[in-house]
Structure 1
Amino acid sequence: MTTRTAPQVGGLLRLNGMHAGRRIDALVSRRAAALRLLAVDGLHLVEPTAATEPAPGAAGAILAPWPNRVEGARWTHEGVERRLPVGDPENGHANHGLLLERDWDVVELSDDAVTLRTALEPSQGYPFRLELTTRYALDGGPEGVGVSVQHEAVNRSAEASPFALGAHPYLCVDDRPGDDLTLTIDAERALVLDEGWIPRGEREVAGTRWDLRSGRRLTEIDPHSGYTALRSRGGQVVHRLEAPDGARVELWADAVFEWVQVYRAADLTTDRGTRSALAVEPMSAPPNALRTGRGLHWIGPGEGWNAGWGIRLGRETSSRASVTTIEERP
């Protein structure tokens, strides 16, 4: 493995290598440290968006120091109201953190890994100084072949800083039609979202159309939905997108990612044209966390926060003859 000095392809950083006998290709953008392409033996695991700048629909972006929305683009810290940039003008909310338009610095680049870093300086809306590092590494093991992503956030402020992180990949199973795919989220509770996608409570999923524990076709899933009470195995949660032929893409995440947002975009601009696309977003805190405090990690001065997630081509399963459909209760 040789260290390189950031050769770029159309402004993107190219990774490629052989792992577990499979070829993996990836493209990572400095803008928002976003994963813009991931393929195993030519089979796409995320919607490829390498040809479009900026990334459509926040494709592959890292979301920090909070994921998803903050109601009214304002929150209160120690009695002072803090106003954030409005990222969702239709509803007047802040959205997806402060780094969507940030070009991260390349710290290290090799054939199959890249490390990026950026510094978040204090602002009126978020008066803290953070140093954030993200590392993408191609890998393979008994569970599958793909990419692992590791994050570190270090607080360079003189006081504790509230922090949460998410990611925004659009999963796919190569060019299989989305209407044929099945999504499995092993969650016992769903977020109750209002018309502006702010949580107003939670519901048990058993017996409802939000129950994805046994898999549901994408045609039956709400365009916006959030889940928690995720079941972890070996310290990880795993979300699965599966085609009828058994091909399966998995998004795994450390158990600290206790929430996941599911978003169906009707018309995402991809390298393969305009498509319906599915974002599966691991989050360490739910929407509106800066206002509610739920899920926030308070990083002490000089201290850090670490967590990881990844996407892999899972081991193929036998083709599903059918998928359980659960009728919604009143």
Structure 2
Amino acid sequence: MSALPPRTGQQFSISHGDYTAVIAQLGATLRVFRYQGDDVTVSTGPDDVVTCCVGRVLVPFPNRLEHGSYDFDGAHYQLPINEPERDNAIHGFGMNYYWQLERLTEDSVTLSWRVPLTEGYPFSLQVFITYTLSNSGMRIDCDAVNNGDGPAPWAMAVHPWFSNGEDAHGNAIDAVTSRCSVQIPANTHVLTNGNLIPTGTEPVDGTKFDFRTAALLDRQPYDDALTDLTHAADGTVTAVFTRPDGRQVAIIGDESITSFQVCTGTGFPEAIHPTGVAVEPQTAYANTFRTGIDLIEIAPGDTAHTTIRYQVLQ
């Protein structure tokens, strides 16, 4: 009897120059991303249970959906609750499926996922994710194609935890995080209730959420969306994560990125606490299926496209 493949399915290794990556078939997850052999993002093993959505693609919606229910185009829908302690659906469900290999080269891989027919999301989408390495780092292209005869609600994000560069454990992870910094050109902080569902917004001025200039993450905890982004003339928006040893990583989104979620995992149990900081580029923040804020409606036959890049600056 032949050995079973890893629980995360096929493993697709790509490389270019100083960069290497491994993408797992389950969830099209970025399992490993390294520069000169050093972890840029927190790595997971091929048989590890992924905690805190490390490396996940969050489709067809990111973050939380209150009660898992929403109305769209005159109909009401109910999705499974996968965050029961807060009565939320969270981070979509594309991460729970094995994606199909479309193309693999030395420095690029494309995977696809046909959204299954479900009562809670009966829209006929096919989603393609392409990971490409170059001298500029990692590029992620996401295309969601609507093959149905009506509009489809859509939002997406990726969930990288950027490595803090130290082999810390337990509470020491939070101490290392306090010496990390982020810079995000966001003018607005999203307020939330106890279930982390948005209740409004506030200017970042004078708050611990003002990262328009680089600031340390020494006022934890953070699990917050920052929006009203300042995009460059070419339509891109760039956040920068800096770890204690000085390594910097740029997280660059195209014009479809409207917010960044920053999560430090402060106080998480050691068994599930990634040794880094999540800086998540999103096309919409939490509850978009209910609020319509930054919601993308894909018309029949149309495609929603997003490009995200990770580049080591130093």
TM-score (norm 2): 0.89
Offset of residue 161 of structure 1: 0.8
Aligned with 2:55 (options 45, 55, 60)? 60
Report matched runs for 1:111-260 at 5 Å.
Answer: 111-140=106-135, 145-175=136-166, 177-233=176-232, 234-260=234-260
Contact kept? 1:152, 1:304, Cα under 8 Å: yes
Offset of residue 74 of structure 1: 0.6
Provide the secondary structure at the position in 1 that maps to 2:67. helix
Offset of residue 255 of structure 1: 2.0
Aligned to 1:322: none
What residue identity is the alignment partner of 1:146? G
Aligned to 2:263: 263
Aligned to 1:291: 290
Aligned to 1:281: 280
The number of residue pairs the alignment matches comes to 298
Aligned with 1:100 (options 95, 98, 102)? 95
Gaps of 5+ in 1: 1-6, 317-330
What residue identity is the alignment partner of 1:264? T
| Residues 162, 10 of structure 1: alpha-carbon distance in 2 compared, 3 angstrom cutoff | closer
Offset of residue 263 of structure 1: 1.2
Offset of residue 99 of structure 1: 0.9
Gaps of 5+ in 2: 168-175
Contact kept? 1:173, 1:247, Cα under 8 Å: no
Contact kept? 1:138, 1:146, Cα under 8 Å: yes
- After superposition, the CA RMSD in angstroms is 2.0
Aligned with 1:31 (options 26, 33, 42)? 26
Offset of residue 129 of structure 1: 0.7
Q: Greater strand percent: which structure?
A: 1
Q: Percent identity?
A: 27
Provide the secondary structure at the position in 1 that maps to 2:84. coil
Aligned to 2:312: 313
What residue identity is the alignment partner of 2:241? L
Q: 2-side partners of 1:235 and 1:59: how far apart? A: 27
What residue identity is the alignment partner of 2:111? L
Q: 2-side partners of 1:225 and 1:307: how far apart? A: 22
Contact kept? 1:264, 1:276, Cα under 8 Å: no
Provide the secondary structure at the position in 2 that maps to 1:278. strand
Provide the secondary structure at the position in 1 that maps to 2:120. coil
What residue identity is the alignment partner of 1:38? F
1:12 lines up with 2:11 in the alignment: yes
Contact kept? 1:210, 1:221, Cα under 8 Å: no
Aligned to 1:325: none
Identify the range of structure 1 (261-270 vs 244-253) with the bigger mean alpha-carbon deviation: 261-270
Provide the secondary structure at the position in 1 that maps to 2:194. coil
